[in-house]
Amino acid sequence: MTNEVKWVLDPTHSELQFKVKHLVISTVTGAFKKFDAHVIANGESFEGAKVNLQAEVASVETGNSQRDEHLRSADFFDAIQHPSMQFQSTELRKIDDENYELLGNLTIRGITKPVKLSASYGGTIKDPWGNIKAGFEVSGKINRKDFGLTWSAVTETGGLVVSDEVKIVANVEFVKS
């Protein structure tokens, strides 16, 4: 890139969450409390920018300590063998002034698969301290089994305890560096 601009994550104004159906009747929301990301843009435009994210899987929180420990175990994320998950973009395609398509490779448990996410650009603004900030909401869906998250249980009636589809939602704020 000729006019490279780096944007770094503002962790105090960012969140990385997932949502998964439990017993098909309700949704459990979880979050990764420790993650980092940066964007390398070409000038002032985000189109074609490179996006990188890394999250510590042991930082997963769902509001239930027993469930969190199960998610950190080898049944799910296997935090000891695979302490982090990564996303590296291959393309950030502008659809219109507010919407982008974010393509890239997601790695969980050492398994890398291509994913397609939607990114909604909230805008760019100067904060009261003179920092230039940009905000995005990123969302998409993955199949957890594609990444080796295959633990499953079935209810008495044959329903799944945890659905295979996982929704990803990230609200992120970046600071121009």
- With a cut of 70, say whether residue 20 has pLDDT above it: yes
- With a cut of 90, say whether residue 13 has pLDDT above it: yes
Q: What is the pLDDT of residues 64-81, one digit of tens each?
A: 899 899 889 998 899 999
DSSP-H helix ranges across 23-150: 65-72
155 vs 172, more confident: 172
Average pLDDT over residues 29-42: 95
Q: Is 69 helix (H, G, I), strand (E, B) or coil?
A: helix
Query: Which of 159, 173, 171, 169 has the alpha carbon at shortest distance from 22?
Result: 159
With 0.95 as the threshold, say if the pTM is over it.
no
The rounded mean pLDDT for the chain is 90
- Answer yes or no: CATH 2.40.128.110 is held by domain 4-176: yes
- Residue for token pair 């969450």: 17
